[in-house]
Structure 1
Amino acid sequence: MAKKEKILEINDLNISFKTEGKKLKAIRGVNFDLYEGETIAIVGESGSGKSVTTKAVMGILAKNGTIDSGEILYTWHDEKTGEPHTVDICKLTEKEIQREIRGRKIAMVFQDPMTSLNPTMTIGKQIMEPMIYHYHTPKEEAWKRAVQLLDEVGIVNPEARMKEYPHQLSGGMRQRVVIAIALACDPYVLICDEPTTALDVTIQAQILELIQDLQKKKNISVIYITHDLGVVAKVADFVNVMYAGKIIEKGTIDEIFYDPRHPYTWGLLSAMPDLDTDDDELYTIPGTPPNLTHEVQGDAFAPRNKYALNIDKRLEPPMFSVPGSKTHKVASWLMDPRAPKIDMPESLRRRIDKMKKEGAAHE
């Protein structure tokens, strides 16, 4: 099997926002790699830093946001020579990002298609625009390509749809149009920020399937941002679990779903709705995330963690490697060889055993 090329590398990324005279440390030392053709999911509660991380990659941080330190290294191959080129997106100007990166090499599908589409422009114009801007594609050629893209994303009668406006389409169709726009310049990386949240379950499944099919056809690398672990199970190769601006557990889809080690990941998995459960109530993680305008002392999850150790209040845990795995890493003092042995809750163990059985039955 050919060695996959690394396309995106995020090293020790730190981002803060100025709010009401205070400094909010939104991203605190994030690291991850993305390889070609691969799908990574970033999961966590609202406010954990998922969207901020990817907005930094796209160069669309809010005006009060600053990248304090770290690198976002993006690598692509020259179409003529095949030579690899690497740039640090953090060092590019807004103009350079707009001209070279955004939409052209890295594209994004947002949560609500109605806010990312221009209500005053026809669907066709909006798909043609990036091709004309980035590649100076002649209008006639851009029109043909836009029709082809609408067809690729499963829109019936694409030529007629080209002349319509966003309000004339259903939510699912609008999201397909947004995907068509994102793919207009053949990007290498597609970032999907909660791409199915506003859609009903049937349409949700269709959109996820569509993104997967397009990914296979075009060998695109995909980053999913979501709080829905059900979505993650369907699409991801690797998962990064985020909490309070840090990645606190990372691994393959099987490692995170079948062998989670961080109490926060246990909480997220336990909170997934399950039709066959005997429990009367859906599990929720107690407490609330910390206020990141204050300095976090020790492990940010400690106040909500019933398994917290004394050291959690004083020192931030490093990333421990799970024995026997090259990919599974956990930022928890429970992983320290000197820590007491704590097993996941029994109810979650039963749920995981059931998931394994169901997974085996589908194979």
Structure 2
Amino acid sequence: MSETVLSIRNLSISFQTASGMVNAIRGVDLELRKGETVAIVGESGSGKSVTVKAIMRILSSNGQINAGSILFHYEEKGKRVTQDLLKLSQKEMRSQINGRRIAMVFQDPMTSLNPTMTIGNQIMESMIIHLKKSRAEAHERALELLHLVGICDPEKRMKCYPHQLSGGMRQRVVIAIMLACDPEVLICDEPTTALDVTIQAKILELIKTIQAKTGISVIYITHDLGVVAKVADYVTVMYAGKMIERGTVEEIFYDPRHPYTWGLLSSMPDMGSPNEKLYTIPGSPPNLLHPITGDAFAPRNVHALNIDFKLEPPMFKVTDTHYAATWLLHENAPKIEMSETLKARMDHVAKEAESEWGEKQSYELLI
């Protein structure tokens, strides 16, 4: 088993709003190991982006971290160092961690690029500041990075401004900037949402190819389970600010145990499904302005037990790598399985995912 690079323990975050205090993150645990990809999935508002922004310490001004730790393990001059990122000052984060050891790719590349600077200067900037490289050394490395991310004629593109590039090329440039200082961790917050499906596939393959070459660890934030099947080693499912199921990508796709995960997988659009109607999870996520009693998913769960409305379920162990927070896994709970309609859709989704994995293993991106 690879060594741990990042450990989040019991993270709790709230936001002060005009309506009151929103408890957005309620005791999150996450572990990332060297060279692996962890995908965090869930509906909009489940807390995915807030969790990774806490890692980078870029929460909005009305946010506050109430409890927990974010332990980052890395090599420094031949020694293994452990830092609690929550105990570092903003200045220390900017100078020691952000961009240098942990980098983040955002959803819209135009918000990450400076429209007044050339592409070359933006890639070179972090190397000159963090790595103390000369402009000549940074220029040479920038050309290598543009070639690595699949941009043709990198010498010419170095002189371009962001508005002169397509959306896919801008996202490749952002990835090149993030890789400039050889970070240990790359966080991708829905980096392909604003791109068409053809470019999306190329960006996903690009990230996997770079990961194979560099050994970088990746956290992938997405609500698209098709993307998860392509990129992830492990999957964490979030709901209402908590991690409610985690396991390997095979365990989550082939043997999901939480009713919310059943709903997520079943609501994927599927042209080959025998069911004409698209499944939707009933109800809406809870209002995190108010305290939650019991299981946050209970009001939407058709299989909810009486205890779900009274006590929050712990993480029950399914295998050494698979855990789910649902009372249905308790030894005294009634044996309930997903409906036949959902199971039929799940079986088809699993076959589609298996097909994707086969294609992924046989396909090489030429860059």
TM-score band w.r.t. shorter chain: over 0.9
Q: Do the aligned partners of 2:26 and 2:242 also contact (CA within 8 Å) in 1? A: yes
In the alignment, the residues of structure 2 paired with residue 87 and residue 310 of structure 1 have an alpha-carbon distance, to the nearest angstrom, of 42
Q: Counterparts in 2 of 1:130-279, with a 5 A limit? A: 130-279=126-275
Cα offset, 1:205, TM superposition = 0.4
User: 1:157-195, CA deviations, whole angstroms, 9 ceiling, x for partnerless residues?
Assistant: 011001111111001000000100000100000000001
Equivalent residue for 1:96? 92
In the alignment, the residues of structure 1 paired with residue 134 and residue 201 of structure 2 have an alpha-carbon distance, to the nearest angstrom, of 35
Cα offset, 1:55, TM superposition = 0.3
Cα offset, 1:37, TM superposition = 0.1
Asked if 1:330 corresponds to 2:327, the answer is no
Cα offset, 1:360, TM superposition = 5.8
- SS in structure 2 at match of 1:172: helix
Cα offset, 1:21, TM superposition = 5.7
Paired AA for residue 95 in structure 1: K
Q: 1:122 to 1:354 in 2, by over 3 A?
A: same
* RMSD over aligned Cα atoms: 1.2
* TM-score of the superposed pair, with normalisation by structure 2: 0.95
Equivalent residue for 1:5? 3
1:352 counterpart (346, 349, 359)? 346
Asked if 1:105 corresponds to 2:101, the answer is yes
- SS in structure 1 at match of 2:11: strand
Equivalent residue for 1:41? 39
In the alignment, the residues of structure 1 paired with residue 88 and residue 262 of structure 2 have an alpha-carbon distance, to the nearest angstrom, of 39
Cα offset, 1:357, TM superposition = 4.4
Paired AA for residue 28 in structure 1: R
- SS in structure 2 at match of 1:285: coil
Q: Counterparts in 2 of 1:298-309, with a 5 A limit? A: 298-309=294-305
Q: Do the aligned partners of 2:272 and 2:348 also contact (CA within 8 Å) in 1? A: no
In the alignment, the residues of structure 2 paired with residue 142 and residue 112 of structure 1 have an alpha-carbon distance, to the nearest angstrom, of 25
Tell me the number of residue pairs that the alignment of Structure 1 and Structure 2 aligns: 357
User: 1:289-343, CA deviations, whole angstroms, 9 ceiling, x for partnerless residues?
Assistant: 1110110111111111111111111111111111xx1011000111111111110
Q: Do the aligned partners of 2:273 and 2:348 also contact (CA within 8 Å) in 1? A: no
- SS in structure 1 at match of 2:125: helix
Cα offset, 1:259, TM superposition = 0.4
Paired AA for residue 259 in structure 2: P
Asked if 1:76 corresponds to 2:74, the answer is yes
1:343 counterpart (328, 337, 346)? 337
In the alignment, the residues of structure 1 paired with residue 131 and residue 56 of structure 2 have an alpha-carbon distance, to the nearest angstrom, of 19
In the alignment, the residues of structure 1 paired with residue 189 and residue 121 of structure 2 have an alpha-carbon distance, to the nearest angstrom, of 23
In the alignment, the residues of structure 2 paired with residue 39 and residue 150 of structure 1 have an alpha-carbon distance, to the nearest angstrom, of 23
Cα offset, 1:281, TM superposition = 2.6
Cα offset, 1:359, TM superposition = 5.8
In the alignment, the residues of structure 2 paired with residue 230 and residue 316 of structure 1 have an alpha-carbon distance, to the nearest angstrom, of 30
Cα offset, 1:351, TM superposition = 2.9
Paired AA for residue 156 in structure 2: A
Paired AA for residue 137 in structure 1: K
In the alignment, the residues of structure 2 paired with residue 139 and residue 281 of structure 1 have an alpha-carbon distance, to the nearest angstrom, of 58
Deviates more, 1:346-355 or 1:35-44: 346-355
Paired AA for residue 339 in structure 1: A
Gap runs ≥5 in structure 2: 359-367
Deviates more, 1:68-77 or 1:133-142: 133-142
Equivalent residue for 2:365? none
Paired AA for residue 329 in structure 1: Y
In the alignment, the residues of structure 2 paired with residue 257 and residue 142 of structure 1 have an alpha-carbon distance, to the nearest angstrom, of 43
In the alignment, the residues of structure 2 paired with residue 316 and residue 68 of structure 1 have an alpha-carbon distance, to the nearest angstrom, of 20
- SS in structure 2 at match of 1:103: coil
Paired AA for residue 63 in structure 2: G
In the alignment, the residues of structure 1 paired with residue 30 and residue 289 of structure 2 have an alpha-carbon distance, to the nearest angstrom, of 24
Equivalent residue for 2:26? 28
